[in-house]
Every structure is written in C-alpha cells, then in structure tokens.
C-alpha cells in the first residue's frame, strides 16, 4: 500500500477507536479526521468537503423538520390512540404478544415513510405513558418498538438517514441515486419477517426491568387538571371505561361536569359527550400525560393563544408571601393578560381542589403549572409575584388542529417522491418549507427538531470516504475481502461486506459505518466483477439493522435509559434478529439486484 493508504488506514482505525469510546461528539471526531487528511494532502478540498454539497444532509434535515411538525401537532395520534387505547390485559404471554403486535406492526410500517429516529422519539413516551396507565412494564415494549422501527427503516429510502447517505454516496460515485422504493423488494420481506420474529421471541427473551418512570412515580404532589371532550372527539359517545379513562395509574377522574351539572364519582359506564368538562387529580407526570390524549383538550385551551405556538414551555410557579395573587382568583387578577401565560393545573398541599381553576382562591404555597413563552422565567423569577419559577420538561399541549395538514404533507411527500414527480431532495425541502410557511411549525421548533450533530457527521463523513477511495485503501481492502471470501463464492463475498458493515455499526453510528464501508464495498464489487448496486444495498442493510448493542443505533439509545435496560439485554434479543437479517438479505439482495448485472 502507498504511504497515503497507510496514513488513511491508521486514521480510520483511530477514528473507530475514539468513536467507540463515546468520549467526544461523533461529528467532531469525523470532522477532525477529515481535516487531518486534508492537511496531509491525502484528499483535496473538493473531496474533503463533498458532503456539504451532497443532497443527503439536506434531505435528512428536511425530514427532521417534518417529523418535528408531527410531534408538535400530534399528527398520526389517531393511530397511536388505536394502538395504546386498550385497558389492562391479563399477564399471559399470548396477551403480551397481542399487545406487541399492535405496537410492532404499525411502527414497522410507519418507519418506512417517516425517519425512524424521530418516529421512535415520538412513540416511546407514549409507550411509557400507556405502560404506566395500564400497569404494564415499559421495558417489555420499548426495545421491540426500537427494533421494529429499525426493520421498517429499510422498507423505503425515507426510513433512515443511512439510506439517504448511501444514496448520496452512489450519486457521488457517478451512479444513479436510489429511488424511494428501490430497496423495497429487499427491505419489505426483511421487515415483515423481523416484525413477526420480534412478536414471537420478545416475551421470552426480554426481562422485566424497572424503568426510571416506574421507579419514580413522578411526585407525591397531587395536581388538579381540567380537560374538555373536544368537538368531534373520538371519545364522544364512548363510556369512561371504553375511553381508557377508568383505570389510569397515578391519576384518576374526580368529577364530570355537563351543562352545569356535576357528577362525582363518575361511573365506568358513564357515556361521554362533546363539551364535557373532566376534572383529573394525580401526580404531575401522570397529569401531563393527559395533555397528549387525542380528543381531550385542556379546559384552558382557548387561552393558550396568548402564547406563541413556537415558543411554548411549561413552568412550575409557587405563590409566595406578598404575592398579588394570594387571596385572589386567576380571573380576578387577569393572569393571562398580566403574566402572558395560562394556568392549566394547580397543586395545594394537604388539600384537594374541587372548584374550577379560574375560580380557585389562591393561597401562599400553591403550585401552578403555567404554559408560557421561553422568556417567562426571566421576566418573573426575581419578582414578588412568584416565589419560584422553574421550567419543566414536557407538558406542552399539542396543536391538534394542524395535525391534518402534517398528515396530508406526509402523504404527498411519499406519493410525489415515490412516483418520481420530484426527486427526494426537492420533495422533502418542499414539505418542510410548506409546513414552515403555513406556520404549522415555527422556526425555533424546526431548529430544535433538527439533530445538527447527525447532519454535520453525515456531511463530514463523506470526506473520510473520499480519502479511502483516493488513497487506494478502499481498493486494497476490497482485494483482501475478495480473497478471503472467494472459497464461498459470490454470496460469500456479499456476506463478508454485509457482516463487516454490521460489526462496524455496532461500534459506531450507522452513518459512519455506511461511509467507511461504501468505498470498500465498491472496490470489492469491482475486484470480483459483481454488481456494485447489490453491494450498496448490503451496506444500507448492514448499517441500518443494528440490534446487538444500545450504542449501534440512535433508536436503541433512545429507549436504553427509558426502559431501564442493561447492555446485554440488547444482545439477548438482538442475536436472533441479526441472524435473520443476514439470512434474509443474502437471499433477497441477489434476487432484487442480480450480482452479475
């Protein structure tokens, strides 16, 4: 090998080691490696920064914005309500498998069209809330949720950033990028079989773990929250029990008011109607879960317009001595106009509040949950009005009235890009731009939705791949792979590339593994005289399908802490899934992409 190739190999190994230690941000590590190779003249400026002119980072960023709009508006929550709307079941394995099927099936299908990392970020809190509400263990469902999203992510190019990265690498190498449904003949059977295997083996292989949310009941403070059954709500004409409001864990329905008539206690067979005012009492985390229930809106929802939709946050506010609020009601003090926020829940130590929130005469020490803009704390934390102003995570009501716009945008994106009317870059940018222009999602929300570390790492990693190709390292490693697998034939060569990518993915991020292996795969295909597109798809599958460790894929990391898992829990469930992925891929890829063209 040349001096440049040896230098590149040394730096690649060092990059892998540093990335595996997780001591530095992956984007920073990748960018530093590219800069070193640029300074050493291993790669020129055009190759080093080719990722910043490639379509892949821009497509991923646009899809993050679309997913952020779905989160902000509660789009697709009708589907999640159907998935999670069931009451407690028996504890049998059969019942658990039925519950798993309800989660795994829609998640697998949905992640084919919505980037799987934002999808899991959207779904995981709902799984935790549903598990709390129904007495299930979240650990039995969070990891299958992640793995289902991973399997679904290979149904179309839209499913994961690694798919888009590989498509961009193909374009950079002079080949046609991947069409939206080009990988479906491989990804769909893999996703279907993978989902079935998940439902079959998860109850046997996953232990019950105590998640942080289960270990911490949120708080012993009891908040009172008023909700209304919204017009057109799917809960209308359903009984309290059928609506899933009877056996709520950590929060309960205290009373129901209809046309000025209060019913308490509320019977399980009491039928709900549009406009019903429901008063709930419970711990803060459980009370906040109710904010996301489709068909229920805060009784103070009409007042939320006082807060800009793009800058909403939830604050805990304590009434202090000398506060002008003490001894007065929210209506009397004109809270919304005076403070620029809306109170939607109240806690009073040692006493349960039964009056309407706006009519409660406040006392010193009362704790209010306030929806306000991000400047609320700075404006009021040093005044006599409040003793404490503390921001909280979560609890921001979604804008259900805009959900249909997001759902139609997602459908249009899939249809337009899938039929080739527009390419994926144009379609995704139009979708994101349209949602911003329609004010479905604000610029601050869009910025928060985009994971800029992932975007920067994708862009920077193209330079490392270019250095491997230009230095001759990729070609040399390709020869070694062909020689090492020639006894197993063409399928053995394909298997070597697939398995090598899967190993790298478990150590690094999926995008880093894809970029590092792509030039090696192309060189291997050229050396063996095989179809390079088949090897590109093998890279895509290997980079996307990470099941053995929590660090190999973003969705695994998302559920790792939430489910209270241990490291080897992923290996236990991931081993059969990995074997299935290898077996199905080695059958499906040569059929969809003949190795000899």
| Span 368-379, pLDDT tens digits | 888 877 777 778
What proportion of the chain, given as a percentage, has pLDDT over 70? 79
SS (H, E, C) 9-26: HHHHHHHHHHHHHCCCCH
Higher pLDDT pick, 245 / 508:
245
Residue 513 DSSP SS3: helix
- Helix-then-strand count for the chain, H and E: 25, 9
Confidence bin at 114 (pLDDT 50/70/90): confident
Look at residue 219 in the predicted model and tell me its pLDDT: 45
Q: What does the block give as tokens for 117?
A: 């990392």
Tell me which residue of 80, 107, 115, 86 sits closest to 98, measured CA to CA: 86
| Fold (topology level) of 313-388 | Alpha-Beta Plaits (3.30.70)
Confidence bin at 218 (pLDDT 50/70/90): very low
Range with the lowest mean pLDDT among 19-23, 130-134, 301-305, 464-468?
301-305
Q: What does the block give as tokens for 20?
A: 């595996």
Does pLDDT of 283 surpass 80? no
> What integer is the mean pLDDT of 159-173?
86
Look at residue 129 in the predicted model and tell me its pLDDT: 67
d(CA 512, CA 161): 11
Tens digit of each residue's pLDDT (9 = 90 or more) over 469-500 = 778 776 676 667 667 766 778 888 899 889 88
Look at residue 28 in the predicted model and tell me its pLDDT: 82
d(CA 407, CA 385): 42
Whether 301 contacts 396, CB under 8 Å: no
Share in percent of the chain as helix, strand, coil (round to 5): 60, 10, 30
d(CA 115, CA 63): 7
Look at residue 217 in the predicted model and tell me its pLDDT: 47
d(CA 323, CA 346): 16
The strand pairing partners of 57, in sequence order, are none
Look at residue 583 in the predicted model and tell me its pLDDT: 95
Range with the lowest mean pLDDT among 137-151, 184-198, 475-489?
475-489
Which residues lie closer than 8 Å to 135 by C-beta, 6 or more apart? 88, 247, 249
Look at residue 190 in the predicted model and tell me its pLDDT: 95
> What integer is the mean pLDDT of 390-415?
71
Tokens 């994708």 belong to 458
Higher pLDDT pick, 22 / 365:
365
d(CA 1, CA 263): 82
What proportion of the chain, given as a percentage, has pLDDT over 90? 11
* Exposure of 362 in the CB half-sphere (CA atoms within 13 A): 29
The strand pairing partners of 298, in sequence order, are 227
> What integer is the mean pLDDT of 317-325?
81
Burial of residue 368 (number of CB atoms within 10 Å: 0-12, 13-18, 19+)? buried
Higher pLDDT pick, 145 / 357:
145
This prediction's pTM: 0.62
Which residues lie closer than 8 Å to 358 by C-beta, 6 or more apart? 329, 330, 331
Q: What is the CATH number of domain 218-301?
A: 3.30.70.1450
- Where along the chain do its domains lie? 218-301, 313-388
User: One fold for both 218-301 and 313-388?
Assistant: yes
Q: What does the block give as tokens for 261?
A: 């008539």
Look at residue 586 in the predicted model and tell me its pLDDT: 93
Residue 299 DSSP SS3: coil
Look at residue 597 in the predicted model and tell me its pLDDT: 61
Size (the chain), residues: 597
d(CA 76, CA 85): 14
Q: What does the block give as tokens for 108?
A: 């697998």
Tens digit of each residue's pLDDT (9 = 90 or more) over 132-142 = 666 677 888 88
Tell me which residue of 408, 398, 399 sits closest to 431, measured CA to CA: 408
Look at residue 92 in the predicted model and tell me its pLDDT: 66
Confidence bin at 558 (pLDDT 50/70/90): low
Whether 392 contacts 344, CB under 8 Å: no
């Amino acid at each position: 090998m040349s001096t440049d190739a040896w230098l590149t190999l040394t730096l690649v190994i060092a990059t892998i080691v540093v990335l595996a230690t997780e001591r530095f941000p992956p984007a920073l590590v990748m960018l530093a490696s590219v800069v070193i190779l640029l300074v050493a003249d291993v790669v020129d400026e055009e190759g080093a920064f080719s990722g910043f002119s490639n379509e892949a980072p821009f497509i991923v960023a646009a899809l993050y914005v679309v997913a952020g709009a779905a989160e902000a508006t509660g789009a697709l929550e009708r589907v999640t309500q159907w998935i999670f709307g069931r009451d407690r079941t028996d504890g049998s394995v059969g019942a658990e498998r039925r519950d798993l099927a309800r989660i795994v099936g829609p998640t697998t299908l949905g992640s084919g069209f919505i980037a799987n990392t934002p999808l899991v970020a959207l779904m995981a809190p709902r799984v935790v809330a549903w598990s709390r509400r129904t007495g299930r263990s979240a650990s039995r469902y969070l990891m299958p949720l992640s793995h289902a999203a991973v399997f679904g992510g290979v149904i179309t190019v839209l499913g994961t950033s690694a798919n888009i990265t590989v498509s961009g690498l193909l374009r950079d190498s002079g080949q046609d990028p991947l069409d939206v449904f080009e990988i479906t003949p491989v990804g769909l059977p893999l996703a279907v079989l993978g989902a079935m295997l998940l439902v079959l083996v998860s109850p046997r292989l996953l232990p019950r773990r105590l998640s942080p949310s289960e270990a911490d009941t949120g708080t012993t403070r009891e908040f009172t929250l008023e909700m209304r059954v919204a017009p057109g709500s799917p809960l209308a004409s359903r009984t309290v029990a059928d609506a899933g409001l009877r056996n709520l864990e950590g929060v309960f329905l205290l009373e129901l008011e209809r046309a000025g008539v209060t019913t308490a206690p509320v019977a399980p067979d009491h039928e709900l109607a549009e406009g019903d005012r429901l008063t709930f009492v419970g711990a803060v985390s459980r009370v906040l879960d109710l904010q996301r229930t489709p068909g229920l809106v805060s009784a103070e929802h009409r007042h939320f317009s006082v807060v800009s939709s793009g800058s909403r946050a939830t604050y805990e506010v304590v009434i202090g001595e000398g506060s002008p609020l003490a001894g007065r009601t929210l209506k009397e003090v004109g809270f919304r106009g005076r403070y620029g926020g809306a109170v939607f829940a109240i806690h009073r130590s040692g006493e349960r509040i039964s009056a309407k929130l706006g009519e409660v005469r406040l006392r010193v020490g009362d704790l209010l949950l306030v929806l306000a803009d991000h400047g609320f704390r700075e404006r009021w934390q040093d005044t006599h009005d409040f003793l404490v102003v503390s921001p909280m995570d979560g609890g921001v009501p979604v804008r259900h009235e805009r959900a249909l716009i997001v759902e139609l945008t997602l459908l249009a994106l899939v249809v337009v890009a899938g039929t080739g009317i527009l390419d994926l870059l144009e379609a995704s940018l139009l979708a994101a731009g349209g949602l911003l222009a329609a004010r479905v999602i604000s610029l601050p929300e869009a910025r928060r939705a985009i994971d800029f570390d992932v975007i920067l790492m994708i862009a920077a990693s193209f330079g490392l791949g270019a250095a491997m190709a230009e230095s001759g390292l990729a070609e040399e490693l390709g020869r070694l792979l062909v020689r090492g697998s020639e006894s197993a034939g063409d399928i053995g060569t394909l298997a070597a590339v697939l398995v090598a990518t899967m190993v790298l993915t478990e150590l690094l991020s999926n995008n880093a593994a894809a970029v590092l292996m792509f030039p090696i795969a192309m060189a291997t295909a050229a050396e063996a005289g095989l179809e390079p597109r088949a090897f590109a798809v093998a890279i895509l599958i290997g980079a996307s399908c990470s099941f053995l460790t929590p660090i190999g894929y973003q969705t695994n990391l998302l559920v790792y802490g939430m489910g209270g898992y241990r490291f080897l829990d992923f290996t236990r469930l991931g081993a059969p899934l990995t074997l299935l992925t290898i077996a199905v891929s080695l059958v499906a890829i040569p059929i969809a992409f003949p190795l000899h063209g």
